[in-house]
Structure 1
Amino acid sequence: MALKNAVTGTVDLVLKEKKNVLYVPSALVFDMGSKKVVYIEGKEGVKETREVTTGEQIQNEIEITGGLKENEQILTN
């Protein structure tokens, strides 16, 4: 099939694939000096600060590479 002149399209390229990666909206990760933190729901529903390590940022999402435990909930406000 040949392409016609002046026809445009969109192509999505997968340059790298990662498995078991946690991405969160970058607006939920805060800079505190040299640290990056998120807010989680702690014991008895009390908001706690948790230091995290981050990886790649893709558009409005950032990879969390460490600092969270399984089933912890990041607070959105």
Structure 2
Amino acid sequence: MGWQARWLVIEDTRAEEGFLLFGREDLEIFHSVSTHGSLDQSVVANTHRRSVFPSAARAEIETATSGLFHVGLLRPACGQ
């Protein structure tokens, strides 16, 4: 684990590259979902951090969430 520019780098033996890069949006998503059970807090954090409209922040968070879902790092809660 370490940092590369603004990315958190974590070794992943499942991936061909051998590592995963997590940006600020990814970390906001993990925190929001694990603490609050939704993406709402990550949208608020992204809105304030980037000084953008909530709709733009939500679109960016949803794109990052989709990427995390497709690589198997984020799954919906049971029953959803």
Q: Same fold (TM over 0.5)?
A: no
Larger Rg: 1
**Which protein has the bigger helix share?**
2
TM-score (norm 2): 0.27
TM-score normalized with structure 1 length? 0.28
Relative contact order, higher structure (CA 8 A, sep 6+): 1
- Please identify which structure carries the higher strand content: 1
